[in-house]
Amino acid sequence: MKKLVLALPLAVLAGPALAASGPFFSLFNTNFVVLISFLAFLAVLIYLRVPGKLMGMLDKRAEGIQKDLDEARALREEAQTILASYERKQKEVQEQAERIVDTARVEAEAAAAKGKADLTAAIERRLANADEQIEQAKAGAVKAVRDRAVIVAVAAARDVIAQQMTPQTSEKLVDQAIGEVQGKLKLH
């Protein structure tokens, strides 16, 4: 079996040499001329150090690719740092907004309590007046307290919303950071 495996490639290689006319080692034999030309070509390549130059070019190419990969990795890390920074800022803004809402709620409750106290005082002063005037004063005071509470709540909510970062703003900041990273990647 080993002889057959060895003999088959030799037979294939010997086929073209046997098909040529005349002796093999003759300049009139095209196969011999092609063999000599091929060997001369290989000798010229080795003499001119083409394989070394090719290896050098491939090494430079590999170094350039490695440099690009390192730079891309650094840009990715920078983008992740920026993203983490924006997420921290968003969290801080959210916490600040919650504190503002809590403060506004306490102030609104205090204003409501003060309004109730004022209403009670006004009712006691006006008890001397007729029952009809008492009812009108009570209704007016309740309406005034409600209107004031609504105005205070609306103003507090407006301040909170104005200072609070929205998800769209957060997404816009993240998209800008990603755009900056992509711009840096395209420059290199």
Average pLDDT over residues 180-185: 83
pTM to 2 decimal places: 0.34
Range scoring the smallest mean pLDDT among 6-15, 84-93, 130-139? 6-15
For residue 67, give the amino acid letter. Answer: K
Widest Cα–Cα separation across the chain: 145
Please, are residues 86 and 173 in contact by the beta-carbon 8 Å criterion?
A: yes
For 129-147, write each residue's pLDDT tens digit: 678 888 888 888 888 888 8
Distant-in-sequence contacts of 76-84, Cβ < 8 A, 24+ apart: 76/181, 78/181, 79/177, 79/178, 79/181, 82/177, 82/180, 82/181, 83/174, 83/177
* 118 Cβ contact list (under 8 Å, min separation 6): 141
Place of tokens 């001329």: 33
Q: Which residues of 54-86 are buried (b: 16+ CB within 10 A; e: fewer)?
A: eeeeeeeeeeeeeeeeeeeeebeeebeebeeeb
For 23-40, write each residue's pLDDT tens digit: 888 888 899 999 999 999
Short-list 80, 64, 68, 65, CA closest to 188: 68
More confident residue, 101 or 137: 101
Please, are residues 11 and 5 in contact by the beta-carbon 8 Å criterion?
A: no
pLDDT of residue 18: 54
